């Protein structure tokens, strides 16, 4: 008797998900609790485990299709683990994992592909040929060429591929557009001499990692500096709700992270009470789980202020967009050696441009400039943050 694999609840108010990558295909054996497929919501991606140990006999939803919470997306039949890797057609060798995924996403059994790899293994190319053949397209033999006199000069490849926008990307697009339309956004800039932070990190790098089990990065300094500036300029940490302004006496800092499936912004709760090591550990954990698609929904909601670091991608300067209903976001950028004037002398220093985008409905220009100046002072004299002065 078959057992249904259903879409599990992924968060409050979420009623529909999109099917992501099938980690197992039709005909493959899976162990109980082994991930079978990734489902994507507008907040978080989730791996759906197998409810039993058995073989997938039917995939009802393909990658990119949508499904309701509780809807059946595949069927499994109880079975004992195979003695060897899943076999392909009679007499063929084992099916490689990449080939199994291609066949599974197309709804084809492993026996649909003939193996041409070493030992008769079914390779990804074999699986792709089987999928093309099922569609009616020739996989190996091209159509006869037209007469030579009818040939036109080649114009180069003009292939296109239409891919459904993931729920996460749809949400990012919608929220960024809302921010532009519903807030009076303005950006102010400053530059920071990173010499003191670089020297501090170099002096304590080995001892810090040995003691805390995590590297001392730049982000913890900027989180601490942002908290300091938010206390000094509370409007940047506030939110407009209708005709009222809500001032927060805590700082939940969102850290923009490029995950495996798009940008996510997990939240450092009560960042004002976290140590440098606490911040670095949480950010490292967020980054690791973002790549694996394992961040929890509650870790991505809320936040009073955000920080994004385009410098890790080489950005020298940008204007970040506020994440509504927040009123401000701090943009970090690449560190670059530049000549600056110090005490009447031209010297070369490692400099970083920083940007604060803010909602001008709530934050005045004086407050925005003061906020960035405070961040600059903290980073250029990091001892003040350690002494909390």
- Give the residue from 79, 76, 85, 80 showing the smallest Cα distance to 122: 85
Distance of CA 133 to the CA centre of its chain: 35
- Decide: 281 and 287 in contact? Cβ < 8 Å: no
- Give the residue from 71, 2, 13 showing the smallest Cα distance to 39: 71
Instruction: Copy the structure tokens of residue 121.
Output: 């293994």
- Decide: 12 and 41 in contact? Cβ < 8 Å: no
- Decide: 106 and 82 in contact? Cβ < 8 Å: no
Tell me which residue has tokens 């919501």: 41
Instruction: Copy the structure tokens of residue 298.
Output: 């509650």
- Angle CA(366)–CA(370)–CA(372) in degrees, nearest 5? 125
- The residues carrying an active-site annotation are 360, 364
Q: DSSP letters of 224-266?
A: HHHHHHHHH-GGGG-EEETTEEE--SS--EEE-EEETTEEE--
């Amino acid at each position: 008797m078959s057992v249904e694999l259903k879409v599990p609840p992924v968060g409050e108010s979420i009623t529909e998900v999109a099917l992501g990558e099938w980690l197992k295909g039709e005909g493959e054996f899976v162990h109980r609790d082994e991930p079978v497929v990734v489902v994507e919501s507008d907040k978080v991606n989730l791996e759906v485990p197998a409810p039993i140990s058995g073989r997938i006999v039917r995939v009802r939803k393909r990658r990119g299709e949508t499904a309701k919470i509780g809807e059946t997306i595949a069927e499994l039949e109880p079975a004992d683990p195979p003695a060897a890797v899943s076999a392909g057609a009679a007499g063929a060798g084992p099916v490689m994992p990449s080939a199994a995924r291609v066949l599974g996403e197309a709804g084809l059994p492993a026996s649909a592909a003939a193996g041409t790899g070493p030992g008769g293994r079914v390779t990804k190319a074999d699986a792709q040929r089987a999928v093309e053949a099922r569609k009616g397209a020739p996989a190996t033999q091209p159509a006869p060429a037209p007469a030579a006199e009818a040939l036109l000069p080649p114009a180069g490849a003009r292939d296109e591929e239409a891919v459904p926008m993931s729920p996460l990307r749809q949400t990012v697009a919608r929220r960024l557009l809302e921010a532009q339309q519903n807030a009076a956004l303005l950006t102010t800039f400053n530059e920071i001499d990173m010499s003191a932070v670089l020297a501090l990190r170099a002096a304590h790098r080995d001892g810090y990692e040995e003691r805390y089990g995590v590297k001392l990065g730049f982000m913890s300094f900027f989180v601490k500096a942002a908290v300091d500036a938010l206390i000094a300029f509370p409007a940047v940490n506030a939110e407009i709700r209708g005709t009222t302004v809500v001032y927060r006496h805590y700082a939940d800092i969102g850290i923009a992270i490029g995950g495996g499936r798009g940008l996510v912004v997990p939240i450092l709760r009560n960042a004002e009470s976290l140590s440098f090591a606490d911040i670095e550990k949480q950010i490292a954990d967020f980054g690791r789980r973002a790549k694996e698609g394992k961040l929890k929904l509650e870790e991505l909601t809320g936040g009073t202020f955000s920080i994004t670091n385009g410098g890790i991608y080489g950005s020298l300067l940008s204007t970040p967009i506020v994440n509504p209903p927040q009123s401000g976001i701090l943009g970090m950028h690449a560190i670059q050696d530049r000549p600056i004037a110090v005490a009447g002398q031209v010297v070369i220093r490692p400099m970083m441009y920083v940007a604060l985008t803010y909602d001008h409905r709530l934050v005045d220009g004086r407050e925005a400039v003061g906020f960035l100046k405070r961040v600059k002072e903290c980073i250029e004299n990091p001892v003040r943050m350690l002494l909390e002065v």
